[in-house]
Structure formats: C-alpha cells, structure tokens
Amino acid sequence: MANNPGRPIPSIKVKSFETKDEVDVWLFSNPMYCPGALHFVERNATVVSYGIQTNSTPVAKRGQYEDPTFKFQIPLQIAAEREIARSLIGDPNFSWVVALKEFAHPPEEIPSAMQTVGPTFFLAISMFGFVFQMSSLITEKELKLRQAMTIMGLYDSAYWFSWLTWEGIITLLSSLFITLFGMIFQFDMFLKNNFAVIFLIFFLFQLNMIGFAFMLSAFISKSSSSTTAGFSIFIVGSITQIVTAAGFPYNNSIGIIFRIIWSLFPPNLLAKALGILASATSPPHDTGIKWSGITKCPPNETDCVITISDIYKWLVVTFFLWFVLAIYFDNIIPNVSGVRKSVFYFLNPGYWIGKGGNKVQEGGICSCIGSVPEQEPLTPDDEDVLEEENTVKKQTREGIVDPNIAVQIRGLSKSYPGTTKFGCCRCKRTSPYHALKGLWVNFSKDQLFCLLGPNGAGKTTTINCLTGITPVTGGDALIYGNSARNSVGMAKIRQIIGVCPQFDILWDALSGKEHLHLFASIKGLPPASIKVVVQKSLVEVRLTEAAKMRAGSYSGGMKRRLSVAIALIGDPKLVILDEPTTGMDPITRRHVWDIIEDAKKGRAIVLTTHSMEEADILSDRIAIMAKGRLRCIGTSIRLKSRFGTGFIANVSFSGSTNGQSPPNGDAVTTPHHEAVKQFFKYHLDVLPREENKAFLTYVIPHDREALLTKFFKELQDRESEFGISDIQLGLTTLEEVFLNIARQAELETAAAEGRLVTLTLTSGALIEIPIGARFIGIPGTESAENPRGVMVEVYWVQDDTGSLCISGHSPETPIPPNVEPMPSRAPTSRRSLPVHGVVIHPDQISSTTTH
Ligand SMILES: Nc1ncnc2c1ncn2[C@@H]1O[C@H](COP(=O)(O)OP(=O)(O)OP(=O)(O)O)[C@@H](O)[C@H]1O
C-alpha cells in the first residue's frame, strides 16, 4: 500500500483473501469495482513469487479512456517488486524509481457530435420541408387545383417560380435559424467556422432537397404517398451519410465516377461538408474555415479530394439539374387528365419562342395508343341541328366572321384512344371510345347556351376541349377567333374564359377571399383593383360573412357559390359553368340564377345542367346531346313544341277552394266533370291524364293543334255552363323533351349495336328482344285458334343512367291477320334457354291492339 507509485493506497481500499479462488469469487460478484489484485506465494527464504490480476476493460474518465496497463498493472508490479526486494534484502529503505512515458503523438482525434449525428440530424430537419413540398405539389395535381389555375390563365413558369420563391424564403430563414441555434448552443463547428460558410452549406443543401422534391413529385400521383417517399429518402440518406462519414468515396483510392454519382444525392454532400467543417474545429487549437479558406483543403485532411467551395458548386449545379428535370418530367408524364407533351417537346423551337410547341397527347409514355378508327361523318336527323350545322359550315367555308358569335364549334370530335398498358404479367387493353362525334354549333355573345344531355352524353368532354384540358381529335373550336387546337390560341383563350368545373376545385386551407384574390391575380387584374373586385364578388355570391373562413369548412352550396364567383372574376368574355347549382338549396339556387342572368350582359355563357327548370329559366338557346351528338337545338319553346308530347290543358272547377285533391285522394266525378270530359273526348279525342274534385288535366297531342283555337274558344264560352273557374294551356315540360330525346338516342344506339335483353313472360318463358322493341311475336305459339301465334306489347322505362329497361308487358294477344307469319320454329319450353322474339312493326298493328 505504501509502495504504490504516486500516492499510498488507503487501507480501506484494500481487501485481503486467503486463496486465489476466494479472490475470483469476490471479483466475479463485484464487477468493475476493483482495478487489480496481487497474489503472493512465499516459496522459501530467498524466493517470493507473486502474480498480478487486472481488469482489462478500459474505463472512460472525462471523455478520456485510461489504459489499464499504465494505470494499474505496472504500478502494482513496481509496488510488489519493491516490497519483495526490501523484504529479501532486509532494508526497509531500499528503493528504485521507474519513470513511464508514452511516445510523442498528435492529439487524439475524438469524433465530434457534429461528425457523428450531425448529418442525420440536419437531414431530418430538411425532411420537413421536403415532405411538405412534395405533398403540396402532389395535392395540387391530385385535386386538379393546378389544372384549374392553368385553365384560368396561370403560366407554368409563374407556377414553378412562385413555388421556388416561397421555398427559397423558407429555406433562407430555416438555414439562418439552424446556424444561429448552433452558435447559441456553443458548438465549436458553428463558433469557429465562418458564419457565411456554414449558413451557405445549410441553405444550398435545403434548396437542393426542395429541387429534389420538385422532381420526385412528378412521379407520384397520390399525396398520401409523399410521407412514404420522404421516409424512404430519409432512411436511404441516413445510410449513405454513414458510408460517407466512413470515408467513401471522397478519397483518392476511389474513382471520380463514383464520387460524381455519389454526389448527386444531396444528403451525401451534406455529410461530407459537415465532416470537413467539424474536423476543421475538432482539435481545440484549430480555428475553423474562414471564407478565404473555402477553396483550400482542411489542414487535418491528408487525402483531400473535395473542398467546401466544390461542395457549394455541386449543390448549385445539382439543384438546377433537379429543377430542370422536374419541369421536364412534369411535362412528359401524363397529368391528372391523362394528357402529356411529347418526350422531345423541348426540341420544338416553337416551345421556346411561344409559338406552338405546347401540343399535347394522351396516354402514358409506356402505353401504346391504339389507332382510333375514323368516324364516319353523320348527317343529323333533326332539321334544326342540320340547319345549325349548315350555317356553321357555310361560315367556315366562306370565312365569315360574325361579330355576334363568341364560340364557333366546327365539327368538333373527340375519341379517347384505346390503350395497351404493359403490366408485370399481363397487358391491359381498352378499346377506343368516340365521346364527341362532330359538333357544329355557334354560341352567341350576350346569350346563355345550355347543353343538356344524359350522363355520358359528352357535355364535359365538349367543355374540356374548349378549355384545353383534353386534346381535340378532329374539327376545331374558335373562341373569340382563337383556335382551341393551337397552343398560342389556347393561351389567349385562357385569358378570356372563366370556368366553374363540375366538381369544386378549392384549397381547403384557403379562405373564400383568398381564393378570389388568387384567381384575380392569375387573371392579371391590377393589384390596386383586386381588393374592390374581390369584395364585390363576395357580396354577389353572399359569402361576405364567410369570406375569412377556410373553404374546407364551407358547405357544399357555399363551395359551389365560391366556384361560380371564381368563374366570373376578372370579367371573362366566355364563362363556362358545368352544373353550377348542384347541391344548392332552392333559395340559394334562385339567387345564383340571378347572378348568372346578370352575368349574361357583355359575355357568352355556356351552361351544362341536369336541372330542366334551370335550363328553362336561364337559357336563351338549348341543345340536347346524347351519345356524343347534338340531337336538337333551339329555344326552350321550340324544343317543347317539337319534341314534347303536346300541350297540357288544366281545367279548374269553381267551388274548389285550393285546387287540391280530396283528402282521400280519390277522383271525384261530378256532372260538371262528366260534361267537360265528354266535351274533350268529342272534340279532341283525349282522356284526362289526371283528375280530381278541383281540376282535370289533359295532354293534347300536337296533331290536334289546328283544332285548339276553336276548341278553347268554345270551352271559354261555356265556362259557366261547365262550372269552370280557370283554363290553363301550356306546353309539355322540358323534362319530357329531354326524356324523349334520351330515349330515342338510346334506341338508336341499341339498334346499331344489336343489343338484346331478355323478356320474361308471365308464362315463365324467356325470349330475347332488341332494346326498345315495342311489339313482339312469340315464336312457337301458332295454334288452330291463333294461326299466326300470339304477341305482347313491351313497356319500357329509362333508369337513372338513361338506359332503357323493361317495366312490364301486356297480356298475350293474337297476332293480327295483316302481320306477316312468323318463321316456323319449335314451341318454346318453359324456363328453357331464351329464344329470339319476332319484332312486329307498330304500323302493322291494327287499332284494336290494346296499349
Ligand atoms: N379519359 C377518358 N377515357 C375514356 N373515355 C372517357 C374519358 N373521359 C370521358 N370518357 C367517356 O366519354 C363519355 C362522355 O363523358 P362526359 O364526361 O363528357 O359526359 P357528360 O355528358 O359530361 O356526363 P355527366 O352528365 O355525367 O357529367 C363517357 O362515356 C365517358 O365514359
């Protein structure tokens, strides 16, 4: 204890044992407690043996590891040997001195926290901006927000540069805060290196990550995938940063090609830069990198292949590379409408000088577009449609520019090509579809043109062609003289149109006011006037109180009103409203109708709607489309008179107070009712469609039109005799016209395609009949009683999608003798396979046939 070099060991720190085994047991049960043990064996008077046992685990003290050999083993050895020598010599003062000294060596390099966890930590910080940026860009694509802005006139360049400016500012601030926090927390790397040197590394790195996010977002179509993509980049980045910190590939033993490829991934450059900056301040006497030293290799680095200034250059160059690639991929990867530019679009000089070069095509890069079969020119069946077509064709041929025409659609056709997509194991084929089959129509200025039609008629496709969302297959559309087929024309069109799309395209996080502000700016309104215009617009659509609320919390009707306001902002010359009042309550709907009515002045409006009332009230002209073609065109009255079933006459009786049905709903027949019914039957041969105590309602077919003047004059003269209080005469509703046209179109298509449906007879037999066929002869029913067999009349209704379905059939009746005999066939067995029914032309059915 007294011989320990340096200072004696106090007795409380020493334990003694009888045997080696006792020592081992004690050491085993008290690990890391005792640094060393001495074993003495006194062999004889001149020989004393001893053994040394030490703990070989190095222990860190204040960041420094103590070497057990120097610290314990040698001192124990010296102490033991001194004591043995003294004991053997018998001189208690006998002593010798041993001095121990390490070789001189450079200061030990302890990797700093900045070198070990710094790269991952700062990569994690930059991932916030990265994921946010990707998800913002993808959400704008996914929700068609970007498309909406483009239609309203936003240039791609403005879109990209506005994002870049915003992200540039955020990145600048975040880099500033990172550097300042590093200094506040007294990290040597931040304190000793030049402020600008550190700040620029963080700024350029984060900007680079933003460029990388821009590029990656072109490949992702769902915003929910952006977090997954961000996380994957983080994991990969963390691993490659560890590899970078270990020295790969920034040393002379690795080829430059590896270094170039490695440096394309921004986290690797950050890891290398932090490595250089941290090692420049790691030994206490190092002073860090000054601005003037960014081009020099750090003094501690022996195998230096890259300097801080090289890293700056790399970060700047790769940022521009990502940014350019982001714009390129954004153009060549199909957008949300499946439309893209050609892979070599940038080789077209027109693209750079703004004269064309923006031609778009459909289908993905890896999908083969099948050839679209040519559509045969169809001559319209309807005389009004034919006349309109001839007018437009004549104007086109003669180059007549009618100043009153806002939109001239010249044989517009659109076919969605069939595509073949090559998946992992199979090819997916879709067949081509002709959505528009040659439209020829003029939309006049100061008028509202209403496009009606069943679902899938082609209304939205027409609008998409007019707004450039989808490329036109054939024909053209001129909007105020600008062609929708030409990119220069389309750029001009977008400055003069306002669109309210079928589905609300709004940012949940922006308020109504901010939306209007944004679109007013896109429309190029002078900044000074925007505030006033936005306020006026909010008042118009009654959203003043909700102006500052986020659009995400608006009701469906409020969102629609905001979409209408957006369409009207900036005083567009053509306003396209695709089902603008869907989801609105009746009061709001009427209010929006007023807005639309007011908006007609000085501009053309194209409206599509499924509300016949809306079409009736707002439209100056109406066209009904079905299966990609115009079926009729004209004013509401013209359509009703031509395609309605006729006139509706309503006769009210005096004595009825409110004109409503009796409470039990039963028809009440009075002598007056009977007299009026007889009068109608005698003069017009019609029966009431509806009758009750208060009134009688008749549908009078068009063919009796000539009799009406005389008939109603006489009815009016006999009003008091019949007890009539009021007579109303009107045309049938637009809805009826719509249903008739849709039915006709459905029939045509079914006949052209030879589509069949199965009719189940009351007898249980199944027969196949063409869709829409009215009288059907049942094969195999010929008998002595009915030598020509029997037939049924089939009743048809249209379902929600406009398709015809069988609603029932009449009882079986004998086929009249004037009908040609059916081809002879074996009798149909019950519930056997369906046989084909024989279609009997209605003209062959005599008047005795029941309906
Ligand atoms: N990208 C596409 N690829 C293939 N077919 C399409 C595509 N877009 C639309 N169609 C088809 O074109 C037809 C016309 O569609 P469109 O959206 O123009 O109808 P619509 O008259 O607007 O119907 P709705 O009243 O339901 O809005 C439909 O049969 C539709 O399936």
Domains of the chain: 11-89 (no CATH), 113-332 (no CATH), 339-365 (no CATH), 403-411+435-637 (3.40.50.300), 645-731 (3.30.70), 754-844 (no CATH)
Mean pLDDT lowest among 26-35, 240-249, 750-759: 750-759
What is the band of 8 on the pLDDT scale with cuts at 50, 70, 90? Answer: confident
Report the separation in Å between the CA atom of 636 and the middle of ligand 1, taken as the mean of its atom positions.
25
CA of 141 to the centre of ligand 1 (A): 20
| Whole-number Å distance between alpha carbons of 342 and 332 | 6
Catalogue the long-range contacts made by 303-306 (C-beta closer than 8 Å, 24 or more residues apart).
303/251, 303/252, 303/253, 305/250, 305/251, 305/252, 305/259, 306/250, 306/259, 306/272, 306/276
CA of residue 720 to ligand 1 center, whole Å? 56
What is the pLDDT averaged over residues 691-719?
87
pLDDT, mean of residues 473-497: 89
Assigned token pair, 20: 């080696």
Residue 658 pLDDT grade (very low, low, confident, very high; cuts 50, 70, 90): very low
Q: How far is the CA of 137 from the centre of ligand 1 (A)?
A: 27
Highest mean pLDDT: which range of 350-364, 479-493, 509-523, 764-778: 509-523
Average pLDDT of the segment spanning 781-798: 83
CA distance 321 to 328: 11
Ligand 1 centroid to residue 458 C-alpha, Å: 6
Give the model confidence (pLDDT) of 393-439 as tens digits. 999 998 888 888 999 999 999 988 776 666 656 666 677 888 898 89
Indicate if the pLDDT at residue 241 is higher than 50. yes
Q: Average pLDDT, stretch 546-564?
A: 92
Residues 36-44: what's their mean pLDDT? Answer: 86
* 557-568 confidence digits (pLDDT tens): 899 999 999 999
> How many angstroms does the Cα of residue 552 sit away from the middle of ligand 1?
27
pLDDT at site 422: 63
Residue 32 has pLDDT above 90, yes or no: no
**Environment class of residue 733 by beta-carbon count within 10 Å: exposed (0-12), middle (13-18) or buried (19+)?**
middle
At 824 the pLDDT is 62
Give the model's pLDDT for residue 420: 66
Q: How far apart (Å, rounded) are the C-alpha atoms in residues 141 and 134?
A: 11
Atom 28 of ligand 1, nearest CA residue: 456
Instruction: Give, for ligand 1, the residue of 336, 419, 421, 460 to mutate: max count of ligand atoms closer than 8 Å to Cβ.
Output: 460
CA of 461 to the centre of ligand 1 (A): 6
Please give the pLDDT value at position 311. 94
Question: Is it the case that residue 696 has pLDDT exceeding 60?
Answer: yes
Q: Which of 195-199, 276-280, 685-689, 782-786 has the highest mean pLDDT?
A: 195-199
Q: Which ligand 1 atom sits closest to the C-alpha of 470?
A: 1
* Residue 435 CA to ligand 1 centre (angstroms): 7
pLDDT confidence band for 843 (50 / 70 / 90): low
Name the DSSP class of 620: S
Residue 496's H or E segment, with its range, is helix 487-496
Cα 578 to averaged position of ligand 1 atoms, centre (Å): 13
Q: Contact 362/432 with Cβ under 8 angstroms?
A: no
CA 628 to centroid of ligand 1, rounded, Å: 9
**How many Å separate Cα 75 from the centre of its chain?**
76
Q: Is the pLDDT of residue 215 over 90?
A: yes
- Pocket probe for ligand 1: among 340, 433, 470, the residue whose CB has the most ligand atoms within 8 Å is 433
Which residue minimizes the CA distance to atom 26 of ligand 1? 455
- Tens-place pLDDT, residues 173-198: 999 999 999 899 888 889 889 999 99
Confidence at residue 834, expressed as pLDDT on a 0 to 100 scale: 67
Nearest ligand 1 atom to the CA of 414 is: 12
At residue 356, the pLDDT reads 63
Ligand 1 atom at shortest distance from the alpha carbon of 453: 21
Gap from CA of 413 to ligand 1 centroid (Å): 13
Report which protein residue has its CA nearest ligand 1's atom 6. Answer: 416
Q: Quick one: which atom of ligand 1 is closest to the CA of 610?
A: 25
Give CA–CA dist 148/142, Å, rounded: 11
Model pLDDT, residue 427: 63
Position 849 scores a pLDDT of: 40
Distance 383 CA to ligand 1 centre (A): 26
Query: Does pLDDT of 391 surpass 50?
Result: yes
Q: Which residue out of 144, 361, 437, 461 has the highest number of ligand 1 atoms within 8 Å of its CB and is therefore the one to mutate?
A: 461
Average pLDDT over residues 689-705: 84
**Of all residues in the chain, what percent carry a pLDDT higher than 90?**
33
CA of 412 to the centre of ligand 1 (A): 15
Which is more confident, 369 or 736? 736
* pLDDT at residue 842 tops 80: no
- Gap from CA of 501 to ligand 1 centroid (Å): 14
Ligand 1 pocket, mutate which of 375, 459, 470, 630 (most atoms under 8 A from CB):
459
Ligand 1 geometric centre to CA of 679 (Å): 50
Residue 464 tokens, joined: 């998409």
- Amino acid letter for position 436: L
| pLDDT of amino acid 64 | 66
Centre of ligand 1 from the C-alpha of residue 431, in Å? 14
**Which atom, in ligand 1's list, is nearest to the CA of 454?**
25
Q: DSSP characters for 110-174?
A: PPPHHHHTHHHHHHHHHHHHHHHHHHHHHHHHHTTHHHHHHHTT--HHHHHHHHHHHHHHHHHHH
Determine the atom of ligand 1 nearest the C-alpha atom of 362: 1
- Cα(457) to ligand 1 centroid in Å equals 7
Q: State residue 102's pLDDT score.
A: 74
Q: Whose CA is nearest to atom 17 of ligand 1?
A: 460
Is pLDDT at 256 greater than 90 in this prediction? no
For residues 36-55, give the mean pLDDT.
87
CA 625 to ligand 1: nearest atom? 21
Q: How would you class 595 by CB atoms within 10 Å of its CB: exposed for 0-12, middle for 13-18, buried for 19 or more?
A: middle
CA 165 to chain centre: 24
Nearest alpha carbon, ligand 1 atom 24: 455
CA–centroid distance, residue 596 to ligand 1 (Å)? 25
645 has a pLDDT exceeding 90: no
Reported as half-sphere exposure (CB side, CA atoms, 13 A), residue 578 has a value of 18
Atom of ligand 1 nearest to the CA of 458: 18
Nearest CA to ligand 1 atom 19: 456
Give the global pTM. Answer: 0.73
User: How much is the pLDDT for 308?
Assistant: 92
> Ligand 1 pocket test: which of 144, 337, 367, 416 has the largest number of ligand atoms within 8 Å of its C-beta?
416
Whether residue 848 contacts residue 818, with contact meaning beta carbons closer than 8 Å, is answered with: no
pLDDT at 533: 94
Sorting pLDDT into bands at 50, 70 and 90, what band is 544?
A: very high
For 267-305, the pLDDT digits (tens) are 999 999 998 888 888 776 677 888 888 888 877 677 788
- Ligand 1 atom nearest the C-alpha of 337 is 1
Q: Residue 107 region, left (φ>0) first, then alpha (ψ -120 to 50), else beta?
A: beta
pLDDT at 802: 62
Atom of ligand 1 lying closest to residue 628 CA: 14
Neighbours of 621 (CB within 10 A): 19
How far does residue 4's CA lie from ligand 1's centre (Å)? 96
Q: What is the pLDDT of residue 562?
A: 94
Residue 126, pLDDT above cutoff 80: yes
Give me the mean pLDDT over the 733-759 stretch: 80
Three-state secondary structure call for residue 383: helix
In this structure, the residues whose C-beta lies within 6 A of any atom of ligand 1 are 338, 416, 433, 435, 453, 455-461, 502
SS3 of residue 804 by DSSP: strand
Q: How far is the CA of 416 from the centre of ligand 1 (A)?
A: 10
What distance in Å separates the CA atoms of residue 592 and residue 587, rounded to the nearest whole number? 9
DSSP result, 394-450? HHHHHT---TTEEEEEEEEEEEEPPEEEE-SS-EEE---EEEEEEEEEEEETT-EEE
Q: What is the pLDDT of residue 812?
A: 87
Q: What is the model's pLDDT at position 839? A: 82
**Taking a C-beta distance cutoff of 8 angstroms, is the pair 253, 259 a contact?**
no
Please name the helix (run of DSSP H) or strand (run of DSSP E) that holds residue 320, with its range, or none: helix 308-332
- Which atom number of ligand 1 is nearest to the Cα of residue 463? 18
What mean pLDDT is reported for the chain? Answer: 85
> How would residue 363 be classed by pLDDT, with cut points 50, 70 and 90?
low
* Percent of the residues in the chain that have a pLDDT greater than 70, as a whole number: 89
Q: What is the pLDDT of residue 205?
A: 94
- Listed in sequence order, the residues at least 6 apart from 691 whose beta carbon sits closer than 8 Å to its beta carbon are 667, 669, 673, 677, 697
For ligand 1, atom 3, the nearest C-alpha belongs to 416
Instruction: Report the nearest-CA residue for atom 25 of ligand 1.
Output: 455
Looking from the CA of residue 462, the nearest atom of ligand 1 is 18
Phi/psi of residue 442, each to 5°?
A: -110, 135
Atom 5, ligand 1: residue with shortest CA distance: 416
List the end-to-end C-alpha distance of the chain, in Å, as a whole number: 127
How many A from CA of 337 to the centre of ligand 1? 12
What residue's CA is closest to ligand 1, atom 11?
435
Please tell me the residue having the least CA distance from ligand 1 atom 30: 456
Which DSSP category does 469 fall into?
Answer: S
